[in-house]
Amino acid sequence: MFIDSHCHIYKEYYEDIPLLMNELKELKAVINNGCDKDSNEEVINLISSYPNMYGAIGIHPENVTNYTDNDLKFLEENINNKKIVAIGEIGLDYHYDKESRDRQIELFEKQLSIAERYNMPVIVHSREATLDTIECLKKYKVKGVIHSFSGSFETAMIYIKMGFILGINGVVTFKNSNLKDTVKRIGIDNLVLETDSPYLTPHPYRGEKNTPKNVILVADFISNIFRISPEKVAEITNKNIARIFDIQ
């Protein structure tokens, strides 16, 4: 039974969510990540309808210019929902907008503070912002997942020593990616599976819309790296998830 620890199931991306969720009945769980006011509200509504869907709510760094204090208040008002397992997707992203660096850090730390106050895990997005991400995380007593990890072995070990585990998705299957070599050095005991659906579809379906069922393709690829069965990959990574998230 596989778990997709990071996806974005919204009506914006999927026309027929009931049909999609019917296709995902064989998965033990999916963690649906919000990223702004509308998607956070949608996550709250969806998790009440599907037994194997859990949620994370947060404000993504790309939305730093249009969030309000009410959006942060929404996180606190819903954080005790039994099916909300993390504050996420939150973090820093300097790829398109380095000018908003200070505002991104402020938003990130506000959400880290909420997570610390309520003893909730975080799901962290970090793109071209590794040093600032690490410095922000050092200020708070939080644990969680570094989503879509694709950094160096040395960076991985810093995160792991801080108590984080690393989310691995379809990027590891890309022919131009060196991530598989890093993953092998890291070891499977510090990894969790994710898809980031509808993005980052694994090879050989790259370019098509991704879905959480493709977490099995990620598991197959990782099973070849470590020379174990996909079922063993599921067993180990599910135990890793249990260290961070309260998923029944």
Q: What is the pLDDT of residues 138-166, one digit of tens each?
A: 999 999 999 999 999 999 999 999 999 99
CA distance 16 to 31: 18
CA distance 137 to 162: 8
User: Does the structure show a pLDDT above 90 at 85?
Assistant: yes
Mean pLDDT along residues 199-219? 97
- Homologous superfamily (CATH) for 3-244: Metal-dependent hydrolases (3.20.20.140)
Helix axes 153-161, 130-138, angle to 10 degrees: 10
Cβ-based burial of 185 (10 A; exposed 0-12, middle 13-18, buried ≥19): exposed
pLDDT confidence of 96, banded at 50, 70, 90? confident
pTM above 0.85, yes or no: yes
